[in-house]
């Protein structure tokens, strides 16, 4: 009976060891979005695209410029970064099974473009006679008790 229990436990351990190895197959891409001086760029939009499948993961950098994307399958990825006032950065990376890539994505200052659209309506202007009211001026005398 004891041998049967040991055999059963060994089979159980071997059966679940494959599941444990499968869980480490996915990896992550993390890092920091930086400006030219090395300061973190907050609220940068990151689009991480699996070049093999086309699957997309989007994330945003935090107030220090840090970001993380987890549970990514091993593949070649395109990491596209956009932030206001900076040019776009597109970097390709290879993520191995269970890999953890840490990237420092340095953005270049770009042109700030702002479009202002002005709309208006026509104002009707009446042409013709105009009358001017009378203005009466009175001389006011101040009498000073001094």
Q: Tens of pLDDT along 51-66?
A: 999 999 999 999 999 9
pLDDT digits (tens, 9 = 90+) for 76-121: 999 999 999 999 999 999 999 999 999 999 999 987 665 566 665 6
Tokens 């009466």 correspond to 136
88, two tokens: 């776009």
Q: Which residues pair with 59 in a beta bridge?
A: 46
| Domains located in the chain, CATH noted | 26-106 (2.60.40.10)
Tell me, rounded to whole angstroms, the distance of Cα 21 from its chain centroid. Answer: 33
Q: What is the DSSP-derived secondary structure letter of residue 73?
A: P
> What is the sign of the dihedral through the CA atoms of 91, 93, 98 and 101?
negative
Report d(CA 74, CA 32) in Å as an integer: 21
* pTM: predicted TM-score of the whole model, two decimal places: 0.61
Mean pLDDT on 19-28: 69
């Amino acid at each position: 009976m004891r041998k049967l229990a040991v055999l059963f436990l060994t089979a159980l351990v071997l059966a679940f060891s494959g599941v444990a190895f499968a869980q480490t197959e996915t990896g992550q891409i993390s890092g920091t979005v930086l400006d030219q001086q090395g300061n973190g760029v907050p609220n940068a939009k990151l689009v991480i695209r699996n070049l093999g499948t086309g699957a997309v993961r989007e994330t945003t950098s935090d107030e220090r410029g840090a970001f993380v994307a987890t549970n990514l399958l091993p593949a070649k990825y395109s990491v596209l970064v956009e932030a206001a006032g900076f040019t776009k950065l597109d970097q390709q990376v290879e993520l191995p099974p269970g890999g953890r890539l840490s990237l420092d994505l340095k953005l270049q200052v770009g042109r700030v473009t702002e479009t202002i659209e002005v709309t208006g309506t026509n104002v009707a202007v009446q042409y013709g006679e105009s009358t001017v009211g009378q203005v009466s001026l009175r001389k006011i005398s101040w009498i000073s008790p001094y």
